[in-house]
Structure 1
Amino acid sequence: MFGVILSTLVGLMHLYLWKRLVKDTTAKGTARRVGTVAFAFLALLVFVTLILGRSVPPSTARWFAWPGYIWFGMVIYLFLTTLVLEIPRLLLRGWVRRRPLEATATTDAAPPVDQPTKDEPAKPQVNQSRRLFLARATAVAAGAASTSLVGVGLGNALGPPDLLRVPVALRRLDPSLAGFRIAVVSDIHLGPVLGRSHTERIVRMINESEPDLVAVVGDLADGTVADLGRAAEPLADLAPREGSFFVTGNHEYFVEPEAWIREMDRLGVHPLRNERTTISRGGAAIDLAGVNDLAGRTSGDGPDFDRALDGRRGDRPVVLLAHQPVQVEDAARRGVDLQLSGHTHGGQLYPFHHFVPLAQPAVSGLARIEDTWLYVTRGAGFWGPPIRVGAPPDISLIELRPDAP
């Protein structure tokens, strides 16, 4: 159903843009035919990218995924900017019209072709040259704005993630664990666009931050282990003091979750499948728990908070790894101190930031849900267009502190 809705929207967006950017800006003839063929080809390229992006090996998919996803991003911003420009376009409609011709003094003669009769109201006549100028000016403005946004977004998405340091005060945290650091990375999205070098950079940045623990909170890859296992191999070089841990995201369930869980375990990034472990240092400890993603429910592998939190002690804090921020509702009811999540990409493409709260309790950053802290990373990769506008990628370093009495 998601695919049908997305395909319909993509088709309608291309049709609208063809009308505004091709039909309205050209006369019948060669230029319009060339523009029409180009739009049809680019629309087909987007459909091929969306449908086959995960169905063929990344080495093959990258040949159409790069141009297809970049054009998809352009379509999004061309559509939005053209819609915004409809407002001044409507306000200027009167500028492209002229007054009707005044009636002549001779009443017996037949009225000229462009002059209204006595019984017909005067109809304003369209100045075609002005209308064409307005359509072309609107198209140029939309193209310039969209190209600028996509260019900046490409630089954000393909550049190094921001390293964010986020202090979080937890009740029940032993003072000897003050400064305990958890590197949180999510939504790496290995695939036809992002490969091994992307993982190597993430691992290098995490290791340079010298964390005590690494949490990979889902959406590692968009493909099979056979196709993308080599791209994920650098994760074996993660070197935190207390270990690396992994929970599934919704994208793991699109392909082969069991295979990726086994692969992460082989690489030394320990899966927490509705499980809990204790991180001890000296006489102090933290309970670290992880739950499966909500998408696992369709295959009988969904989140089980009671199982994950069973047997925990009430005198030490609980940190929960859960891919989707919305899972904090169950976490808060069970007294979790801190939930670490991803999934939202921080909105990835402005203005979609404003729509994320319709499904999730937070877009990015630190939020308080009842007595539970929720931290949402913007993720280190991207899904779909290799573009991030208003939501640069990040790796977050959570620094735990005792809550002041």
Structure 2
Amino acid sequence: MRVLLFGTIFLIIFSLLCLYISKRFINKLDLKPKYKKYLNYFLVLNLLGVLGYLVFRRYPIIPNEIYFLLSVPIGIIFLLFSTSVIYDILKYLINHSSKDIKRREFFKKSLDITALLAATSINAKAMYNARHIQIEEVKIKIKNLKESYSLVQISDVHIGGLVDKEFIASLVKKINLLKADVVVITGDLVDTNLKYAKAALEELENLKSTYGTYFIVGNHEYFHGIENIIETMKSLNIKVLENENIYIGKENSGFYLAGVYDRFGERYGEYKPDIKKALENTEDFPTILLAHQPKFIEEIPSTSNIDLILCGHTHGGQIMPFNLLVKLQQPYISGLYQHNDTTQVYVNKGTGFWGPPMRLGASSEITYINLISN
């Protein structure tokens, strides 16, 4: 029922976006009627693609080429809507900038050409960005850390559809080249029925690091059978941190790595986060917490001994200007923040993508973190 409700609302929203694009952008262009008609047909085709994506997103049984054609329209419509809003504003300014009709017509035609070229190039650039993962190197000073450690973080991979076995195999190779001491996966790893994700997940068993790979669930794991996902991860020799911690490093010179369930567990009714339990007996050494959502910071007591929190969830906004909406819901979007005197927060922009294979203003990311003494 929840899936049906989400799909219906999602489709209604995108239908309204398409209506705005058609009325306020396409139909206002200085083009022949037949070309406007073709552009409107293209818009309807994209809306049908959104419908197809909603049908197949949970069960990616179609070839990746078709899945790509069904998922891209979400990003195309969103970026066309953003372009349409800017076009609307600029058109208004042109109409009120001069009394000279010929001058206004010249600026209007220039705007039409620029808007069409911009919409095309921005969509192409966004698709290119999603398939090129960047290594983000960060140095983070940790108080009382006696020895330096390297840590690789990936997050929000969203296995399913285009993020398949080949994608994960390539990702594993990139991570292994970094020769990290620790690898952490901060949630939203699986975004499809487990039977379709299993082949890709098995590639993660090839991850190499000095002290192992650690995983926490994100909100999307709750949608696809969280218990079975956790058990599958454990079978791959990946440690799942379930409101618990583990000591990492050499004796007397390491740190505690803690992890909690996602906040969505409160709504789900099971697998609820418990920060008190996760931090038990971590007073003697520096502590790093894995928490999927940056907003979890609100549930952590100000007196806690956490030195660093590693998060994901936001995708850095994934497609501008969606990052502005994300900021209304999450306190931190991407990168490193000093939350208070004792705690820093790092938010990974996401290693994969949700929905359209597109990113604009927020690259796909593997984070390579050097933990050094303060």
Is this a same-fold pair by TM over 0.5?
yes
CA shift for structure 1 position 391: 0.9
Shift in CA distance, 88/400, structure 1 to aligned 2, threshold 3 Å: closer
Of 121, 124, 127, 1:151 maps to: 124
User: Residue 26 and residue 172 in structure 1: after superposition, are their counterparts in 2 closer, same or farther (change >3 A)?
Assistant: closer
Counterpart among 237, 240, 255 of residue 209 in structure 2: 240
Measured in 2, the distance between the counterparts of 1:355 and 1:294 equals 19
Give the deviation of 1:233 after TM superposition: 1.4
Once residues 188 and 286 of structure 1 are traced to their aligned partners in structure 2, the CA distance between those partners, rounded to angstroms, is 26
CA distance in 1, matches of 2:307, 2:108: 56
5+ residue gaps, structure 1, are: 100-126
- Asked if 1:276 corresponds to 2:245, the answer is yes
Q: Which moved more, 1:135-144 or 1:2-11?
A: 135-144
Are the equivalent residues in 1 in contact too, given 2:58–2:191 (CA < 8 A)?
no
Q: Partners of 1:287 and 1:135 in 2: how far apart? A: 61
Q: Give 1:70's aligned residue.
A: 72
Pairing 1:183-198 to 2, within 5 Å after superposition? 183-198=152-167
User: 1:200 and 2:173 equivalent?
Assistant: no
SS at structure 2 position matched to 1:59: coil
Alpha carbons of structure 1 residues 135 and 299: separation in structure 2 relative to 1, 3 Å:
farther
Task: Specify the code of the residue in structure 1 equivalent to 2:269.
Answer: S
Unaligned runs of 5+ in 2: none
Whether 2:198 is the aligned partner of 1:229: answer yes
In the alignment, which of 220, 226, 230 is matched to residue 261 of structure 1?
230
Map of 1:31-46 to 2, 5 A cutoff? 34-46=38-50
Counterpart AA for 2:241 = L
The aligned residue for residue 290 of structure 1 is 259
CA distance in structure 1 between the aligned counterparts of 2:141 and 2:36, rounded to whole angstroms: 62
Contact 1:78 1:143 in 2 (8 A): no
Q: CA deviation at 1:10?
A: 0.7
| Residues paired across the two proteins, number | 366
Q: Is the 8 A contact 2:46 2:77 kept in 1?
A: no
| Stretch of structure 1 that moved more, 38-47 or 270-279 | 38-47
Please report how far the alpha carbon of residue 169 of structure 1 lies from its aligned counterpart in structure 2 after TM superposition.
Answer: 1.4
Closer/same/farther in 2, CA of residues 347 and 31 from structure 1, 3 Å limit: closer
Aligned to 1:172: 144
The answer to whether the aligner puts 1:335 opposite 2:302 as a matched pair is: no
Amino acid at match of 1:349: I
Shift of 1:59: 3.4
Question: How far off is 1:337 after superposition?
Answer: 1.1
CA offsets 1:353-405 (integer angstroms, 9 cap, x no match): 233222222111111112211111111111111111111111112211222xx
1:27-106, aligned counterparts within 5 Å?
Answer: 34-49=38-53, 51-56=54-59, 58-60=60-62, 62-93=64-95
Q: Which one of 301, 316, 323 corresponds to residue 271 of structure 2?
A: 301
The equivalent residue for 2:184 is 215
| Alignment correspondent of 1:390 | 361
1:16 aligned residue: 20
Residue 242 (structure 1) shift:
0.6
In structure 2, what is the Cα distance between the partners aligned to 1:87 and 1:29? 23
Deviations 1:7-59 (A, max 9, x none): 2221111112222454445899765655544433321221221x213332x23
For the residues of structure 2 that align with 1:149 and 1:31, how far apart are their CA atoms? 21
Distance in 2 of aligned mates of 1:251 and 1:300: 14
The alpha-carbon distance between structure 1 residues 350 and 30, as it changes in their structure 2 partners (threshold 3 A), is closer
TM-score w.r.t. length of structure 2:
0.89
Give the aligned CA root-mean-square deviation in angstroms. 2.6
Q: 1:320 aligns with which of 275, 289, 298?
A: 289
What displacement does 1:73 show? 1.4
Local SS of the residue matching 2:61? helix
Percent identity reads 32
- CA separation of 1:98 and 1:335: change in aligned 2, threshold 3 A: closer
Q: Counterparts of 1:142 and 1:93 in 2: how far apart (Å)? A: 16
- 1:69 offset after TM fit, Å? 2.4
**Shift of residue 134, structure 1, vs aligned partner:** 7.7
AA at the equivalent of 1:355: L
Provide the C-alpha distance between the structure 2 equivalents of 1:134 and 1:41, rounded to a whole number of angstroms. 31
Of 315, 319, 323, 1:345 maps to 315
Which is further off, 351-360 or 303-312?
Answer: 351-360
TM-superposed deviation, 1:66: 1.1
Q: What's the CA shift for 1:95?
A: 9.4
Distance 1:138 1:75, change over 3 A: farther
* 1:176-213 Cα deviation digits (max 9, x unpaired): x2x21111110111111111121112211111111111
SS at match of 1:184: strand
The one-letter amino acid of 1:46's match is V
